[in-house]
């Protein structure tokens, strides 16, 4: 009978999963971001458990010209039933933490996997119909062209780039799957000595949530500068910004980033990153970096600014390049 009783770790997993299920109802679950030259900040479609949100009206207006059906929450039965499904999953997970039986763990895990597969199939069906059932009388018609958004990842649709990724709620549900899988592995090992340790680790992992302002690594010789449009080929002078919408813009020169921010002052920026001159393609927070400017510093677009993670390194290269120290706020406000 002892082998059929769950460990403390798995009981904590049930509790965390229960709150993740319920919490996912109140935040966006998926996002499709559209970028184009005429929309530098991008357009975002956010799919919640119970509604469609984001730049829906603008996207509907654009889609009208290519014959795509407009999006309305009331047209999808999924938004009526999904909150109840997630709520029931959450309540079941919380009740199973009290029941503390292995059979309950397996039951919840495989039920959730089945739900995930059905949801993925439904999402694909929705994307397919949305992108293929076009109005033959649309103002813009491209023979053989379909506009099915990607389920996950990037896809080019005419002059728009479409990015499809999980949002906060989606990551919460992915976390549920990972936690339940870890709990199953834990129960299979029949160990109990580290129950408390695992419980603390799992709670800490989810409280320490991934922020949406983390740097996205620059792909050298692949990514282009979003200001001068040149290819980024140097891993010592590049920079990056993350906007409030979670969009990243990459630059081959710190001066390019500063100029871009001045020309797009309406863009809300969440984080600034710059390359550490002493490393190869390593981004650091601009607010914590130390900068030198001028002298014999050579940068891709002649911005003549270099960044360092420590003041001692900045001072050493300041002397070598005959440069001068400069504050971050001066660079960004020039």
pLDDT digit string, tens, across residues 153-182: 878 777 778 888 999 999 999 999 999 999
Together in a domain, 189 and 289? no
Together in a domain, 49 and 194? yes
Together in a domain, 110 and 185? yes
Res. 295: pLDDT tops 90: yes
- Which one has a higher pLDDT value, 67 or 282? 282
**Mean predicted lDDT score pLDDT of the chain:** 86
User: Of 207, 226, 260, which residue sits at a domain end?
Assistant: 207
Together in a domain, 41 and 186? yes
Give pLDDT, residue 41. Answer: 73
Would 8 be classed as within a structural domain?
yes
pTM of the model: 0.62
**Mean pLDDT lowest for which of 4-18, 113-127, 203-217, 295-309?**
203-217
Together in a domain, 6 and 142? yes
Together in a domain, 44 and 160? yes
Q: Domain range holding 260?
A: 239-333
Give pLDDT, residue 197. Answer: 52
Together in a domain, 199 and 269? no
Res. 209: pLDDT tops 70: no
Would 133 be classed as within a structural domain?
yes
Distance of alpha carbon 227 from its chain centroid, rounded? 22
User: Of 207, 226, 253, which residue sits at a domain end?
Assistant: 207
119 to 49, 115, 188, 300: CA distances (angstroms): 12, 6, 29, 47
pLDDT band at 207 (very low <50, low <70, confident <90, very high): very low
Would 135 be classed as within a structural domain?
yes
Together in a domain, 170 and 272? no
User: Of 207, 224, 250, which residue sits at a domain end?
Assistant: 207
Neighbours of 318 (CB within 10 A): 23
Would 228 be classed as within a structural domain?
no
Would 59 be classed as within a structural domain?
yes
Would 267 be classed as within a structural domain?
yes
Mean of the pLDDT values across residues 238-251? 87
């Amino acid at each position: 009978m002892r082998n059929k009783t769950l460990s403390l770790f798995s009981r904590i997993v049930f509790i965390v999963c229960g709150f993740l299920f319920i919490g996912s109802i109140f935040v966006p679950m998926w996002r499709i971001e559209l970028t184009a030259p005429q929309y530098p900040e991008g357009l975002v479609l956010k799919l919640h458990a119970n509604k469609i949100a984001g730049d829906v009206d603008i996207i509907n207006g654009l889609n009208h010209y290519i014959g795509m059906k407009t999006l309305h929450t009331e047209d999808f039965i999924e938004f009526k039933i999904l909150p109840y499904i997630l709520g029931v999953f959450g309540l079941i997970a919380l009740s199973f933490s009290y029941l503390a039986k292995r059979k309950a763990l397996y039951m919840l895990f495989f039920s959730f996997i089945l739900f995930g597969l059905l949801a993925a199939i439904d999402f694909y069906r929705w994307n397919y119909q949305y992108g293929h059932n076009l109005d033959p009388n649309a103002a813009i018609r491209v023979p053989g062209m379909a506009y099915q958004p990607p389920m996950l990842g990037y896809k080019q649709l005419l002059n728009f780039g479409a990015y499809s990724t999980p949002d906060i709620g989606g990551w919460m549900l992915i976390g549920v799957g990972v936690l339940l899988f870890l709990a199953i592995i834990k129960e299979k090992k029949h160990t109990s000595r580290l129950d408390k340790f695992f419980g603390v680790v799992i709670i800490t992992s989810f409280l320490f949530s991934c922020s949406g302002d983390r740097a996205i690594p620059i792909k050298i010789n692949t990514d282009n500068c979003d200001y001068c449009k040149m290819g980024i080929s140097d891993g010592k002078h590049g920079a990056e910004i993350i906007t409030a919408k979670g969009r990243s813009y990459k630059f081959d020169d710190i001066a390019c980033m500063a100029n871009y921010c001045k020309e797009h002052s309406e863009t809300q920026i969440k984080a600034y990153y710059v390359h550490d001159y002493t490393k190869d393609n390593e981004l650091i927070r601009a607010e914590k970096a130390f900068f030198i400017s001028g002298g014999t510093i050579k940068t891709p677009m002649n911005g003549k600014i270099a960044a360092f993670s420590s003041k001692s390194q900045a001072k050493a290269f300041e002397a070598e390049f005959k440069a001068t120290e400069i504050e971050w706020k001066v660079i960004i406000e020039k």
